[in-house]
Amino acid sequence: MKKIWAMLTALALVCAMLPSAMAVELSKEASGLTNNKTTVTLTVGANEEHPVSDVVFVLDKSTSVNVRNAATAMLDELLTRANPEKSTINVGVVVFNSNARNDGYVMGLTELTETSRNEFNTILGKELSTGTNIEAGIRAGMAMLAGDTTTADENKHLVLVTDGVTYLWGTEAPKTTYSELANSIATGTDYLNTDYHYRDSSDYNAYSNAKKWMTAHGAEIEAVLANGYEVDCKFDSEERIITNLSKNSGTKYIPAGENNPYTALEIATYKAGQAWQDAADEGYNLYAYADQKYTEQYPWGPNFIGGLDTIGGVSGAVPEDTDGMFDGVKNSILYEIQSGTVTDPIGEHYNFDGTETVNLTVGNVPVSRDDSVPEGYDISFDGGKYFVKYDSEDGPKGTITWDIKTPVEQGKAVALSYGLTVDQSKVPTDGYVDAPTNGKTTLTYKPTIGDDTTKEFDVPEFTLGKKESIPTPDKEANGNESIGDVAPGQTISFTIKTSLPETIVGTDADEPTMLIFRDTMTGLELVDGTMKLTINDVTINPTYYEIEDASTTDPKYLREGNTFAVAVNLSAINTDGSLDELLGEEVVVLSYQGKVTAGMGSEVNNEAWVNDSNSDTTPGKVTITTGGSGTLMYTIGGAVLLAAAGALFVVNRRKTAG
């Protein structure tokens, strides 16, 4: 009957090995709208310049040779797979018995190299006996991880291997180690077979849910721990506990009897669970493997270790075949996910720009497309490691599906990007709308350890709407905001600096995007041949703009009372996309010269406009005054507000992308 029960327990522990999913970093960003276009980038994983991982093995003294060999084999593979120039892996080990500070059985966190791997192997090749203190082992491993302040907690790993039959607790031995002393003498572990509370088989399975068991008995055990006694505690030549009841400064013990329903095994198990909870609270990656050699005799031990995943991390049985038993640990160090699928519906306010705009990078390095693509996909990357397809019938604007068929390495994020264009038919003619670039975007992935998991990306959005574009130009005379002592006949150099509109339509549009300067030049006359236009310090060829003056018959842009108008065809200038990165920026400068006329009064209003259309709005004004004795003062007043006008055109005000 015991053998059958042991087999069922082992099966349950294998099932318990299914772990919880580990965190995977996701991001989704959209570049600013340029000519109603944006580039969306989905990123899985994180790019780190030099990721660092820590792994500490905490091994029971009785850990089998096969398990120790599996641990060294994992380090050997990490040595092969890891690149020290790009990442660092630190390794430590604690082999514990009644304590976790035995000389020659502990190696502090050390960078994984051939030398440290050999030291690790040497420690694991030694034998150690007497006593089991799982709490001390866990806390020693935690202390190693906590001592490394440069590695993020999410990159720290603690691996526990034990049979779970613990009867000592406390972090020092022997003086501050706690144990139960049955009556007056306890020799070795003979009291493991004493008939105390929770020894009947009906309660063995209670330990399989470690968290539930801890919650059920924690208060009573804490009350027992509050009533310790001091006794002299010594070790004989075989390191077995022998005691007498003469009081002395020494070890606390928990007396057995009617006032204490808990044995040292239960109390030590509880203290081990507390240590595991503390490690989980630190955010470490935890792995517990229950050795099955005592399953038939003392099933509560491996049951409890196998149930530690209810507190945190991963737990289960040591498998019969230990080859590769630490693959989950190894992969969690090397990889974020094993495989996954991103489902990305296009937002209703946008159109997908086509598969030719799709690009992929791994660790910020572009990945090339494959020549052949499997049926059902539009694109294949890197020999079939990544596939992309676009289904135009799925959703209002179609859905992009991105299959990741290869592990995502730690520190080497995988990013997919593609282009979108605003659907003008979805832009409101009155007011604005918040327009997410995509619908609900998800990654369903197989983590390095655990069950398939689904996570959502944040989705960027823009505010779309039709509005007037109001450039905000600055005007200067001779490079200053004001000048004095100006006489008739004197030439003055003027500049008007303004911004590009936020959108420039293509040359195939019904109406090109124009930028129009107009000036009354009251009391001045324009000097022929002095007109010059620059954008971002680049001189624009005069073929791209027209100069209209008062003598022109039926002018296209000139208004009554204006001295001149300059109509700049931005659509024609931008056929090569040279202005796309400058939209909305104050980079346009119109310069010209004006000659002061003798008929200028003592004060006139010199009006000017800058529009991206040809309709009038309220003009900005420059006041010109003479200060007596032929002195003329221009008061420009800082930045001159020049109102915009014209046929309304669509521009887009970016809200916040990403």
Q: Render pLDDT for 128-149 as a digit per residue (tens, 0 to 9).
A: 877 788 999 999 999 999 999 9
Please state the pTM of the whole predicted model: 0.56
Share of the chain above pLDDT 90, in %: 41
Query: What local confidence, expressed as pLDDT, does residue 450 receive?
Result: 67
Cα gap 323→653, rounded to integer Å:
59
Query: What's the residue count for the chain?
Result: 658
Mean pLDDT within 110-121: 93
The predicted model gives 420-449 an average pLDDT of 88
Closest by CA to 289, choosing from 21, 57, 23, 4, is: 57
pLDDT given at position 233: 38
pLDDT band at 352 (very low <50, low <70, confident <90, very high): very high
Note the pLDDT tens digit of each residue in 59-90.
999 898 999 999 999 999 888 876 667 678 99
Q: What percent of the chain has pLDDT over 70?
A: 73
**Is domain 474-656 given the CATH code 3.40.50.720 in the classification?**
no
DSSP state of 497: E
Contacts with 448 (C-beta within 8 Å, 6 or more apart), sequence order = 22, 328, 331, 332, 335, 336, 337, 338, 407
Q: How many CB atoms lie within 10 A of CB 258?
A: 5
Q: Where in the chain is the domain with CATH 2.60.40.740?
A: 474-656
Burial of 336 (0-12, 13-18, 19+ CB in 10 A): buried
d(CA 600, CA 173): 103
Tokens encoding 11: 């099966």
For residues 623-637, give the mean pLDDT. 40
Mean pLDDT of 459-478: 74
When pLDDT is cut at 50, 70 and 90, the band that residue 625 belongs to is low
| The pLDDT value given to residue 397 | 96
- Does residue 292 register a pLDDT over 80? yes
CATH 2.60.40.2110 domain range(s) in the chain? 336-463
Answer with the residue of higher pLDDT: 425 or 648: 425
Nearest to 349 by CA among 464, 442, 509: 464
State the average pLDDT for the chain: 78
pLDDT higher for 204 or 280?
280
Mean pLDDT of 480-490: 75
Q: How far is Cα 559 from Cα 550, in angstroms, rounded to an integer? A: 9
Give the Å distances, CA to CA, from 199 to 5, 205, 262, 304.
15, 11, 10, 14
**Is the pLDDT at 255 greater than 80, yes or no?**
no
- Cβ pair 2, 432 in contact under 8 A: no
Read off the pLDDT band of 622 (50, 70, 90). Answer: low
Mean pLDDT score, 296-317: 91
What's residue 14's pLDDT? 32
Segment 44-70 shows an average pLDDT of: 87
* Radius of gyration, CA atoms only, the chain: 39
CA dihedral 629, 634, 635, 638 (to 10 degrees): -150
CATH topology for 336-463 is Immunoglobulin-like (2.60.40)
Cα(167)–Cα(179) distance, rounded to whole angstroms? 7
Place 379 in a pLDDT band, splitting at 50, 70 and 90.
Answer: very high
What's the confidence (pLDDT) of residue 71? 93
Q: Which residue has the higher pLDDT, 118 or 101?
A: 118
Q: Indicate whether 234 pLDDT > 50.
A: no
Per-residue burial over 69-105, b if 16 or more Cβ lie within 10 Å, else e, is: ebbbbbbeebbeebeeeebbbbbbbbbbbbbbebeeb
* Position 575 pLDDT exceeds 60: yes
CA atoms of 387 and 353, how far apart (whole Å): 18
pLDDT score, position 651 = 31
Predicted confidence at residue 10, as pLDDT, reads 33
Q: How far apart are CA 567 and CA 517, in angstroms?
A: 7
Tell me the sheet residues that pair with 419: 39
- In single-letter form, the type of residue at position 66 comes to N
Q: Tens of pLDDT along 153-171? A: 988 999 999 999 887 777 7
Residue 410 pLDDT exceeds 50: yes
Q: Which residues fall within 8 angstroms of residue 614, CB to CB, at 6 or more apart?
A: 514, 516, 556, 557, 567, 645, 646, 647
Instruction: Name the band, by pLDDT with cuts 50, 70 and 90, for residue 54.
Output: very high
Asked whether the CA dihedral 244, 249, 254, 255 is positive or negative, the reply is: positive
Task: Please determine, for residue 530, whether its predicted confidence score (pLDDT) is greater than 90.
Answer: yes
**Adjacent-strand bridge partners of 234:** 242
Tokens of 439: 């619908």
Mean pLDDT in residue range 454-476: 78
The beta strands (E) that lie in 19-101 are given as 26-30, 37-44, 52-60, 88-96
Reported confidence tier of residue 423, pLDDT bands at 50, 70, 90: very high
Q: What band does 540 get if pLDDT is binned at 50, 70 and 90?
A: very high
Is 658 a residue whose pLDDT tops 60? Answer: no
What confidence score (pLDDT) does residue 330 get? 86
